Amino acid sequence: MDYRDCYRDKRVLITGGLGCLGSHLAIALVELGAKITIVDSHHPMFGANRFNLKPIEGRYDLNICDIRDVDAMNQLVKGQDYLFHIGMQTSHVDSMTDPFWDIDINCRGNMVVYEAVRHHNPECFVIYAGTRGQYGVLDRIPVDETHPMRPTDIYGVNKVAAESYGFVYHRAHAMRFSSLRVNNCYGPRHQMRHAKYGILNWFIRMAMDGETISLYGDGGQKRDYNYVDDATDAFLRAGAHPDECVGEAFNLGSGKARTLRDATELVVKYAGSGGYELVPWPDDRKAIETGDYFADYSKFAAATGWEPRVEMEVGLERTVSYYKKHRAEYW
């Protein structure tokens, strides 16, 4: 049986379902025959965009609410078979300028979700969107799941905490929980209005607008990127393999590290405009820079059969094509 068949007629709750990854998951799940409920705060900075769900218009339930809303989450988790937990605060910079806001969403908000599952739907399988930022500065690359976590910003610390809470609930309360530590994810349906998260997509906007992209230092810092279709497939596979994934954390990765300069040159190439320049590191960015990052995703591949399939050249071409067609919905 195809792993995707397990979602037919299942009830699925997606937090952050109006954003990039959440909307891709929603579209895929509806097409697989699942019954979708989307939770999204519709915060103007977080990338929520109802146009993202245009392909499945009228085929999902939408609740505009915050994951910190205890009464709402208690009701929304009831009867769900799966909870893809994507909706969180994701700006590294904002976490440093307003740490209590980040704590409130990424720690207390996650506890609200976990408590709702614990008390109102203990059989629900929770798949959490972790982040490569949890690792911070690396001792070795490629980084596997045993690497120490030393995040360099408040966001990373709180993501470690939120993931750790999930595993505490798994051990203490038998909550079915797994975490996928998401790589630098890019592609269609990502927010394009500011540079606070989704750096590659922001570079795409700048290049499409004919602007000059500023790269810090020599642009030689290496990064690992996943096209959103590959990330979507990873979450679907995790949900379909509970025996292998419950109680485990996994890295996602591309199998190919690229310097930021090389990635930017590809962005400019496929956008057909723009350029880049090298500039000194700003103090606030330098303070939270993690250095090179390249993931070992072999644990997840062994557990689920997942492999990244979309090369960056193909992903960038698809992304630019999407935004050229739907520019008015994202600019």
Confidence band for 33, pLDDT divided at 50, 70 and 90: very high
Say what the pLDDT of residue 198 is: 85
CA distances from 131 to 212, 306, 322 (A): 28, 18, 25
Does some domain include residue 275?
A: no
Percentage of the chain surpassing pLDDT 90?
Answer: 88
The DSSP H or E segment spanning 259 is strand 258-259
Say what the pLDDT of residue 103 is: 96
Question: Which residue type, as a one-letter code, is found at position 49?
Answer: N
Residue 259 in this model has a pLDDT that exceeds 70: yes
Structure-token match 């996650």, residue found = 110
Burial 29-49 (b: 16+ CB within 10 A, else e): bbebebbbbbbbbeeeebbbb
Q: How far apart are CA 239 and CA 245, in angstroms?
A: 8
Residue 1 in this model has a pLDDT that exceeds 70: no
Residue 289 in this model has a pLDDT that exceeds 80: no
Query: Half-sphere exposure (CA, 13 Å, Cβ side) for 290?
Result: 26
Q: Comparing C-alpha atoms, which of 86, 133, 13, 33 is closest to residue 232?
A: 86
Number of domains in the chain: 1
Does some domain include residue 221?
A: no
Residue 73 in this model has a pLDDT that exceeds 80: yes
Does some domain include residue 155?
A: yes
Backbone angles phi, psi at 259, to 5 degrees: -70, 155
Q: Comparing C-alpha atoms, which of 303, 308, 204, 296 is closest to residue 248?
A: 303
**Range of 168's domain?**
3-188+226-256+293-310
Does some domain include residue 281?
A: no
Q: 103-160: per-residue pLDDT in tens?
A: 999 999 999 999 999 999 999 999 999 999 999 989 999 999 999 999 999 999 999 9
Percentage of the chain surpassing pLDDT 70?
Answer: 100
Which is it for strands 225-227 and 212-216: parallel, antiparallel or unpaired?
Answer: unpaired
Q: Cis link prior to 142 (omega < 30° from 0)?
A: yes
Average pLDDT over residues 156-167: 97
Does some domain include residue 272?
A: no
Say what the pLDDT of residue 125 is: 98
Q: How far apart are CA 211 and CA 11, in angstroms?
A: 44
Say what the pLDDT of residue 136 is: 92
Q: 80-94: per-residue pLDDT in tens?
A: 999 999 999 888 888
Q: Comparing C-alpha atoms, which of 103, 90, 78, 95 is closest to residue 43?
A: 90
Predicted model pTM: 0.96
Does some domain include residue 301?
A: yes
CA 13-85-119 angle, 5° bins: 70
CATH of the domain at 17: 3.40.50.720
Does some domain include residue 261?
A: no
Structure-token match 């409920």, residue found = 37
User: Positive or negative CA dihedral for 99, 104, 106, 111?
Assistant: positive
Does some domain include residue 244?
A: yes
Say what the pLDDT of residue 244 is: 98
